[in-house]
Amino acid sequence: MNHDLAQIWQNSLAEFETTVSKGNFNMLFKQSSIGKIENTEITLNVTSNFIRDWLKDKYHAQVLKTLKKFVPEIKELKYFITDKSPKIQAGSVLDKEKSKLQLFNNNSSVSTLNPDYLLESFVIGPSNRLAFATCQAVSQNPGKDHNPLFIYSGVGLGKTHLMHAVGNEILKNNPHKTILYVSCENFANEYINSIKTNKMDYFKKKYRQADIFLIDDIQFLSKKEGTQEEFFHTFNALHQTHRQIIMTSDRVPKAIPDLEERLSSRMSCGMIVDIGQPDFETRLAILERKTEITKKPIEPAVLEYIAHTIFSNIRELEGAFIKVVTDAHLLKIPITLDSAKISLKHLIEEKDKKARFSKSFLPDSCQSDGWKRSHHNYARRQSD
């Protein structure tokens, strides 16, 4: 059978982009490609030993599971190191509308759970302790307590990790359960496509028969009146039969613009938990766990430098860590504090540039530390 290797990888990338950090996606997945498919074996071309080892250790199961959605007969995934990076047309990976509609036509539009997102691999700190404890309780008793569960936070702070982790834990303890995970954007795309293809009965049956329904980035329901109507009925059908519903968002339900009041009320009728920015100790613990993947020691001073420098979210923290490790590997130099500073120089300069740009718009009277603290607290209240 002839396979369109490029299209298979494009569709796979569209899925990886929604489940892995931006740094991992750009450095690991976007630089790789499918080399060949022979019988039940698929070969992934990668550009270095480092990327091969990282993919094998951290993402092997997820990559194989995703590829099997497009080539069901494959059973084995191998890696081949090549000097050539794949030539991907600009925007092709980000053309989510096309990729996700193709996934729906293949009856596999719902993204699979990321097997690497587990409760035991989640680093707990003051900023996420309540969210973690709630997710742990839901995984042990789905559909009973904390239903629905609404998790909100800024970008890259771990809400998607927790959602996948709950799904994986429930599936481990209840393999017969039907668990559906989907992004809100995908849900909307499927709904539209179902109307176009007269498959609404299938769409309704698929979602309303789920035992566990996980929907990511629910804020994208904003201004989508038809999708809101369908989600409202899906929510009611599941909730009335005590099926567990978990939603994530970048804000609380009442702060989602152009969201029907009845939907906001439904989303708020269970447990709402937030995840804040990780403190220094939590960031350091995350980096220390990452060193286990590299399988080589990294000086504590290097990890502390990264943890002090990157504080906005975990996704950026991961990206910075990978850049430091990758740069040292490609240059064949040891990872030191100096090499880390060089690797992150442009990132830090960009962050400083944005900070100076924002500050330039403040009047001199607003430059005091007191005003900054007040403004920070006000901004946090507004985001909540």
- Domain boundaries of the chain, sorted by first residue: 5-84, 119-275, 280-355
* 119-275 fold: Rossmann fold (3.40.50)
State how far the Cα of 215 lies from the Cα of 232, in Å rounded to an integer.
13
Write down the architecture of domain 5-84 according to CATH: 2-Layer Sandwich (3.30)
- The string of pLDDT tens digits covering residues 68-100 is 988 999 999 999 988 554 443 333 333 433 333
3 pLDDT band, cuts 50/70/90, is: confident
Q: What is the pTM of this model?
A: 0.65
- The string of pLDDT tens digits covering residues 143-153 is 988 999 999 99
307 pLDDT band, cuts 50/70/90, is: very high
- CB count within 10 Å of CB 333 equals 12
pLDDT value at 376 more than 80: no
- The string of pLDDT tens digits covering residues 335-348 is 999 999 999 988 77
Which H or E run contains 79? strand 76-81
101 pLDDT band, cuts 50/70/90, is: very low
Sign (positive or negative) of CA dihedral 153, 158, 159, 160: positive
239 pLDDT band, cuts 50/70/90, is: very high
State how far the Cα of 103 lies from the Cα of 137, in Å rounded to an integer.
33
Write down the architecture of domain 280-355 according to CATH: Orthogonal Bundle (1.10)
349 pLDDT band, cuts 50/70/90, is: low
